[in-house]
């Protein structure tokens, strides 16, 4: 966090479910120990899954009860009196939309957050939230947090782009390296690198989703292109996401300082990410992006 902050990063994202709340505790402790002024950073967290391994039905979801109690728990773990953005981590079909909108507006009215947003909601649910907020004269969600990478494009480019433009919403994206597949560590036929996320048992579902031969081959072609232009595969993949004007910010992950520095280095190659190079990237990835070839990012 210190390395990122010194490099100019000012947005730090979290969630009640990450490590059952321990992630929020660690981030809050880091902010305090580093002496980072609260006004210097945009801090966000997410509510839905609860903060225990097997939460009771009343300690998860988007009922007014859990929105309020979950927010209170997150603030306590982060050791702050407010976050800048509170996200609904998923949509809750068991709760009326009016209750969800009123619940998050209660959080805003209490000053526990300045804005609220959604994460992995369908466009239809986001539309409904805006309609309910307008009818009740309340504040609608102002941002969607969606997965976006050169291997996962369809939702952002085909579903969210026009919606966010019409509603004036921001678009915060995560997993720009496809859970690490685009980091350059994976090669066709090679074993899973020791210590990587895909080698951890609890992330086996991610390995099943991403470690498919055709996707590994596509990632290898991107890696070869990155070497050709003198950057790392991760930097090329990150720059590609950042270059989309519809994207407000790109959330990156890191397990050590070297990763932070490498990620920040993606900003320096943006000027060289020409339409010709983007077209070559699309050709290299092919149909694995979920968007028809020839469709340029928004």
Tell me how far CA of residue 222 lies from CA of 81, 162, 286, in angstroms: 43, 28, 11
In angstroms, the CA 158 to CA 246 distance is: 12
Task: Please report which residue ranges of 168-232 form alpha helices under DSSP H.
Answer: 204-210, 213-229
Q: Can 18 be counted among the known catalytic residues?
A: yes
Contact present, 273 and 242 (Cβ < 8 Å): no
Spatial separation of the C-alpha atoms in residues 232 and 74, rounded to whole Å? 36
Burial 29-66 (b: 16+ CB within 10 A, else e): eebeeeebeeeebebbbbbbbbbeeebeeebbbbbeeb
**Contact (Cβ atoms closer than 8 angstroms) between residue 144 and residue 172:** yes
Helix/strand/coil for 177? coil
Q: Indicate which residue of 18, 115, 148, 203 is catalytic.
A: 18
Q: Nearest to residue 172, comparing CAs of 120, 230, 99?
A: 120
103 and 137 Cβ atoms separated by less than 8 Å: no
Residue 271: Cβ-neighbour burial (10 angstroms; 0-12, 13-18, 19+): exposed
Q: Quick one: 86 exposed, middle or buried, by C-beta within 10 A (0-12, 13-18, 19+)?
A: buried
Q: What is the C-alpha separation between 63 and 54, in angstroms, rounded?
A: 17
> Which residues are catalytic, by number?
18
């Amino acid at each position: 966090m210190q390395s990122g902050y010194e490099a100019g990063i000012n947005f730090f994202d979290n969630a009640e479910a990450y490590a059952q709340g321990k992630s929020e505790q660690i981030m809050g402790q880091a902010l305090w120990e580093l002496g980072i002024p609260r006004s210097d950073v945009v801090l966000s967290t997410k509510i839905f899954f609860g903060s225990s391994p097997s939460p009771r039905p009343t300690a998860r979801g988007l009922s007014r009860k859990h929105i309020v109690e979950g927010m209170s728990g997150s603030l306590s773990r982060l050791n702050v009196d407010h976050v800048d953005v509170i996200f609904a981590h998923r949509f809750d079909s068991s709760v009326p939309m009016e209750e969800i909108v009123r619940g998050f507006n209660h959080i805003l009215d209490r000053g526990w957050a300045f804005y609220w947003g959604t994460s992995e909601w369908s466009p239809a649910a986001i539309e409904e939230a805006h309609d309910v907020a307008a009818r009740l004269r309340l504040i609608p969600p102002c941002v969607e947090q969606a997965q976006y990478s050169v291997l996962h494009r369809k939702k952002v480019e085909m579903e969210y782009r026009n919606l966010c433009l019409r509603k004036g919403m921001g678009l915060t994206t995560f997993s720009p390296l496809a859970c690490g597949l685009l980091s350059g560590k994976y090669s066709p036929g090679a074993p899973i690198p020791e210590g990587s996320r895909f080698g951890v048992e609890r992330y086996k579902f991610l390995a099943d989703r991403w470690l498919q031969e055709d996707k590994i081959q596509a990632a290898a072609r991107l890696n070869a292109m990155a070497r050709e232009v003198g950057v790392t595969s991760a930097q090329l993949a990150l720059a590609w996401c950042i270059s989309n004007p519809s994207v407000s910010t790109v959330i990156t992950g890191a397990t050590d300082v070297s990763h932070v520095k490498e990620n920040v280095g993606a900003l320096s190659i943006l000027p060289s990410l020409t339409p010709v190079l983007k077209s070559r990237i699309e050709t290299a990835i092919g149909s694995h992006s979920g968007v028809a070839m020839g469709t340029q990012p928004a």
